[in-house]
Amino acid sequence: MQIKTKAIVLRCTNYGDNKLITRLFTEEQGVQSFISTKSARSKNKYTPLLQPLSLLVIDYKQVPNKHLHSFSDVTMLHAYTSVHSNMVKLCIAQFISELLHKSLSENEHYATQFFSFMESSLIYFDITDQNFENFHLYFLIEFSRYLGFYPQIIDDNQTQYFDLLNGQFCNHSLNSAFMLNAPTSALLLSCLNLSITNFMTLKLTYNNRKQLLTAITDYYRIHVNGIEEFKTIGVLQTVLNA
């Protein structure tokens, strides 16, 4: 069956001397992997397009029980103007790429609204030139909504602490390793249910961002199988503190 769909590049891995395996999240078929030739002699026109978080339109033939597909055609859906050239944005993009790669599974079905969220968020991130230092936090929080563990407010009067294990706010700290302290819980609470525009205008200090990033990535480690550490966090923290 021939399929034409929007796709986001999650990860590219060299395979052998001249092959590239690209893992993508597609709008219609979820996570799919593709193999292509990247040698200079082959003059493969697709390789320059296969960068982390690139927004593409791909055409390929889906063969039953085949895990590595081949591209029939690849075109750019949105050509980034700043994501791969601005150092801060690039580090944020590398972190989000790692997050998506580790969180999304080939065997899961995802709603089309999920792809729309990622597409619109990444385009906004690319075109905005102000306050984008908050983007990775916005993406982390909103992404959890589509994965099924968005932080819950059960009672507006019970929001003093956030329980990482149960994914909800409460007023009783059990001195557990899974309970955020009151200041970090309040910080997380202030970030919930905001539009991307309003989130970007939040006045967060470097320490605020570091607190939130640590808390939310801990939250992901609890709720997403296979996440142990994020290799890109160290560089991201350094760049945001520059």
> CA-to-CA distance for 77 and 118, rounded, in angstroms?
13
pLDDT at 208 over 60: yes
Residue 152 is predicted with a pLDDT of 97
Q: Report the CATH number that the domain containing residue 122 is assigned in CATH.
A: 1.20.1440.120
Which is more confident, 167 or 39?
167
In this model, does residue 39 exceed pLDDT 80? no
| 187 shares its domain with 67 | no
Instruction: Give the residue among 52, 47, 56, 45 at the shortest CA–CA distance from 79.
Output: 56
Of 60, 78, 96, the residue that ends a domain is 78
- pLDDT score of 15 more than 70: yes
Least confident residue range of 2-16, 41-55, 222-236: 41-55
Inform me whether the pLDDT recorded for 163 exceeds 80: yes
For residue 48, pLDDT beyond 90: no
Exposure string of 174-206, with b = 16+ CB inside 10 Å and e = fewer, is eeeeebbeeebbebbbebbebebeebbebebee
Confidence label for 128 from pLDDT (cuts 50, 70 and 90) = very high
Kindly report which listed range (44-48, 56-60, 106-110) carries the lowest average pLDDT score: 44-48
Residue 42 has pLDDT above 70, yes or no: no
Average pLDDT for residues 11-15, to the nearest whole number?
Answer: 90
Query: Are residues 113 and 227 located together in one domain of the fold?
Result: yes
**CB atoms closer than 10 angstroms to residue 1:** 7
Same domain, 38 and 141: no
CA–CA dist 20, 24 (Å, integer): 13
Q: Round to whole Å and give the CA distance between 235 and 242.
A: 11
Whether 4 has a pLDDT exceeding 90, the answer reads yes
pLDDT tens by residue, 62-76: 888 788 999 999 999
Rounded mean pLDDT of the chain?
Answer: 92
Whether residue 41 is predicted with pLDDT greater than 70 in this model: the reply is no
How would DSSP label each residue in the chain? -EEEEEEEEEEEEEETTTEEEEEEEETTTEEEEEEEE--TTTT-SSGGG--TT-EEEEEEE--TT-SEE-EEEEEEEE--SSTTTSHHHHHHHHHHHHHHHHH--TT----HHHHHHHHHHHHHHHH--SSGGGHHHHHHHHHHHHHT---B-S-TT--SEEETTTTEEES-----TTB--HHHHHHHHHTTT--HHHHHT----HHHHHHHHHHHHHHHHHHSTT----TTHHHHHHHHT-
Residues 116 and 167 in one domain: yes
Using CA atoms of 55, 241, 98, 30 in order, give the dihedral in degrees to the nearest 10: -40
Query: Are 127 and 145 in a shared domain?
Result: yes
Residues 98 and 164 in one domain: yes
- 66, 130: one domain: no
Mean pLDDT to the nearest integer, 150-174 = 93
91 shares its domain with 208: yes
Boundary residue ending a domain (78, 95, 115): 78
**Which residues constitute the domain of residue 10?**
2-78
Question: So what's the pLDDT on residue 37?
Answer: 83
Q: What is the CATH number of the domain that holds 45?
A: 2.40.50.140
- Domain stop point among 38, 53, 78: 78
pLDDT at residue 44 in the model: 62
Question: What is the number of structural domains in the chain?
Answer: 2
